Amino acid sequence: MKLTEIYSSGKTRFSLEVFPPKENKNKENDLLSTLRELERFRPALVSVTYGAGGSSREKSAGLVKRINNEAKLTPMPHFTCVCSNTQFIESYLKELEREGVENILALKGDPPKGFNDEEAFSHADELVAFIKDKTNLSIAVAGYPECHKDAKDFDSDIYFLKKKIDCGACAIFTQLFFDNKKFFAYLEKVKKANINVPVIPGILPVKNIAQLQKMTIMCGASIPLDMLHKYERFEDNSEDSIKLGIEIAIKQIEELIDNGANGIHLYTLNQRRMTYEILQHFN
């Protein structure tokens, strides 16, 4: 099912982000059985990350195919254009289409350290235009409720977000954030810029304080102080810490749904328990 159809139902749809396990085939099999188990909650789609520079190319594509064929869920591969040429991009995307994939999350990606080859596109808007021209894929793009780290300022970040939509994207999946006020302020900016596609908030259920701090450094999301203090009370990965993570994510999602979110994108980090309990709560 294509993105436009998924988000036109008027109901809040959950989507799940997973990554291709590095270690071995058993981990991938475990992930597949988790996804089959989660099928009962009818997630709108499962997005699969892609290592910028193509490091996870085969693993990402392999997992996307298995999600489509074995888990019977709608996959949305991520694709990053750094370190890629147009010939490769076109053949990779056409291969996905032949496998029955209908949606894609089109990203620039962050070039791996030391990378200095020529690349096909300098920003994601050019990739979106290329995908639109060469395929029938429905295209989503990334948005940043707390502004992208390399943006000149917030206004220019929104300006380039609009460019991605004008080039043919039909949905925005956001970077994770913990403070809903920042998301609501972002939605205002998006609306003011005349961007009229679904903006799907990205939520990370946090297992422990170390993970909270790590993800915040990686993604630039600010942590509300009271949230930080709550995690400080518990040992890493203790039952209390995990329950706290589930409770905080549920509260955050409830407020987003009450305010009309058409979707919730869960950054699952391939964690079964937290994902399961959150989906069960909203089932």
116-119-121-127 Cα dihedral, nearest 10 degrees? -120
If one asks whether residue 142 binds ligand FAD (CB under 6 A), the answer comes out as yes
Site for ligand FAD in 194-213 (CB under 6 A): 202
CA–CA distance, 64 with 92 (Å, rounded to integer): 12
Tokens of 79: 């694709």
Residue 273: CB minimum distance to ligand FAD, A? 22
- Does 15 interact with ligand FAD (rule: CB under 6 A)? no
Amino acid at 108: K
User: Contacting ligand FAD (CB under 6 A), which of 38, 124, 139, 212?
Assistant: 124
Is 17 marked active-site?
yes
Q: Does 228 bind ligand FAD (CB under 6 A)?
A: no
Binding status of residue 160 toward ligand FAD by CB under 6 A: yes
Piece in contact with ligand FAD (CB under 6 A), picked from 172-180, 205-213, 240-248, 272-280? 172-180
Active-site residue (options: 5, 17, 70, 188) = 17
Angle between helices 154-166 and 124-134 (to 10 degrees): 10
Q: How many CB atoms lie within 10 A of CB 69?
A: 11
Q: Tell me whether residue 122 or residue 238 sits nearer to ligand FAD (CB atom).
A: 122
Select from 31, 45, 52, 279 the one that contacts ligand FAD (CB under 6 A): 52
Place of tokens 């170390």: 210
Q: How far apart are CA 196 and CA 111, in angstroms?
A: 30
Choice between 144 and 231, CB closer to ligand FAD: 144
- 110 scored as a contact of ligand FAD (CB under 6 A): yes
* CA distance between the termini of the chain: 21
Is 78 within 8 Å of 59 (Cβ atoms)?
Answer: no
Q: Which of 7, 92, 130, 173 binds ligand FAD (CB under 6 A)?
A: 173
Q: Which of 84, 175, 180, 241 binds ligand FAD (CB under 6 A)?
A: 175
Note whether 97 and 61 are within 8 A (CB): no
CB 45 within 8 A of CB 71: no
Q: Which residues bind ligand FAD (CB under 6 A)?
A: 49-50, 52, 78, 80, 105, 107-110, 123-125, 142, 148, 150-151, 156-157, 160, 163-164, 173-175, 202
